[in-house]
């Protein structure tokens, strides 16, 4: 009986100890405002460290090359230089339509004895206004497809392109001129030009005329007739007849031929 009572007392004692450890806690000390603020700052600081990275982020800017400007790729277009070929039978108006003024006066040289005309055409026998002898300097001021416009003192005229040379031309000596005239006379004798006797009127009385400039003496009264001689400016010859705009003249050596009236005073 005593043993059972003692056991019950022991169980009661153990139960009391267990209840005292689990069911009860020590009274908490009151929390002050300073402790609360310190605890809040500690928590905030801990949160900050938890969010911020452990190491500082370093941004390295690598050097970059400046962009190179490139010209746009365009297709190279090469324009072929084209030269307009004009027919040989242009009219005077057509020649002057394509006339081009030169930037400055250009000196050419007479390649042979040549005529100066008021218009760029040979069909008109009345347009001869002067002439040049081989080797003479000629001032060119404009060009057409087949002619040069030239300037002499205070007047102008046209010279056929083949009658001028870019390089200097030696003038003919008196002996060379006589030889050329004789050779041409022989050629005319062998191949005479068509006669124009029916168009020639003889003067009842001959008279003298004076050349206004250098001019050619031709076998017939047209610009295409063969040249049988030449006369210098201010040369006096005897006119024995006429054919339209031409005088039939007799030279000192007895040669007869035609000179244009426009080339006489």
Tell me the pLDDT tens digit for each residue of 170-189.
Answer: 998 888 888 877 776 676 56
pLDDT at residue 18 greater than cutoff 60:
no
Q: Where are the beta strands (DSSP E) in the chain?
A: 100-110, 114-117, 128-132, 137-143, 147-152, 155-160, 164-165, 201-210, 215-218, 227-231, 236-243, 246-250, 256-260
Q: What pLDDT, on the 0 to 100 scale, is given for residue 169?
A: 93
pLDDT at residue 86 greater than cutoff 50:
yes
Select from 138, 137, 119 the least CA-distant residue to 129: 119
**Structural domains of the chain, with CATH:** 92-165 (2.30.30.40), 174-263 (2.30.30.40)
pLDDT at residue 77 greater than cutoff 60:
no
Chain segment 246-255, per-residue pLDDT in tens: 899 998 888 8
pLDDT at residue 151 greater than cutoff 70:
yes
**Residue 103 C-alpha from the chain's centroid:** 14
* CA gap 201, 255 in Å, rounded: 18
**In 10 A of CB 8, how many CB atoms?**
10
Q: What pLDDT, on the 0 to 100 scale, is given for residue 32?
A: 57
- Looking at per-residue pLDDT, the higher value among 84 and 49 belongs to 84
- The answer to whether 177 and 227 are in contact (CB under 8 A) is no
* Mean pLDDT on 212-234: 86
Q: What pLDDT, on the 0 to 100 scale, is given for residue 8?
A: 47
Chain segment 32-66, per-residue pLDDT in tens: 555 555 555 555 555 444 444 555 555 556 556 66
- Looking at per-residue pLDDT, the higher value among 90 and 7 belongs to 90
pLDDT at residue 13 greater than cutoff 70:
no
DSSP string computed for 72-132: -------PPP--PPPPTT--HHHHHHT-EEEEEEEEEEESSSEEEESSS-SS-TT-EEEEE
Torsional sign, CA 107, 153, 131, 95: positive
Q: How confident is the model at residue 236 (pLDDT cuts 50, 70, 90)?
A: very high
Q: What pLDDT, on the 0 to 100 scale, is given for residue 205?
A: 81
Q: What pLDDT, on the 0 to 100 scale, is given for residue 50?
A: 47
pLDDT at residue 95 greater than cutoff 70:
yes
Rg of the chain on CA atoms, in Å: 61
Select from 194, 209, 193, 111 the least CA-distant residue to 160: 111
Mean pLDDT of the chain: 75
* CA gap 246, 7 in Å, rounded: 180
pLDDT at residue 7 greater than cutoff 50:
no
pLDDT at residue 79 greater than cutoff 60:
no
Range of weakest confidence among 79-83, 128-132, 228-232, 237-241:
79-83
């Amino acid at each position: 009986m005593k043993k059972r009572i003692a056991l019950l007392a022991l169980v009661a004692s153990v139960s009391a100890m267990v209840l005292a450890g689990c069911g009860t806690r020590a009274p908490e000390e009151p929390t002050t405002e300073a402790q609360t603020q310190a605890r809040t700052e500690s928590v905030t600081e801990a949160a900050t460290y938890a969010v911020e990275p452990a190491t500082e982020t370093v941004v390295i800017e690598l050097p970059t090359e400046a962009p190179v400007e490139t010209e746009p790729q365009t297709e190279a277009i090469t324009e072929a230089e084209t030269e307009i070929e004009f027919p040989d039978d242009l009219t005077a108006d057509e020649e002057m339509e394509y006339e081009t003024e030169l930037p400055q006066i250009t000196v050419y040289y007479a390649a042979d004895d040549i005529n100066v005309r008021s218009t760029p055409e040979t069909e008109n026998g009345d347009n001869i206004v002067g002439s040049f002898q081989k080797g003479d300097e000629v001032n060119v001021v404009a060009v057409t497809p087949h002619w040069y416009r030239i300037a002499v003192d205070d007047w102008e005229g046209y010279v056929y392109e083949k009658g001028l040379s870019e390089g200097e031309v030696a003038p003919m000596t008196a002996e060379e001129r006589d030889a050329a005239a004789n050779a041409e006379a022989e050629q005319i004798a062998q191949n005479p030009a068509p006669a124009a006797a029916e168009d020639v009127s003889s003067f009842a009385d001959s008279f003298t005329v004076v050349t206004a400039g250098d001019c050619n003496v031709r076998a017939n009264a047209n610009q295409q007739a063969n040249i049988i001689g030449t006369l210098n400016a201010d040369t006096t010859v005897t006119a024995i007849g006429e054919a339209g705009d031409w005088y039939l003249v007799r030279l000192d050596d007895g040669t007869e031929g035609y000179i244009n009236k426009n080339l006489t005073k």
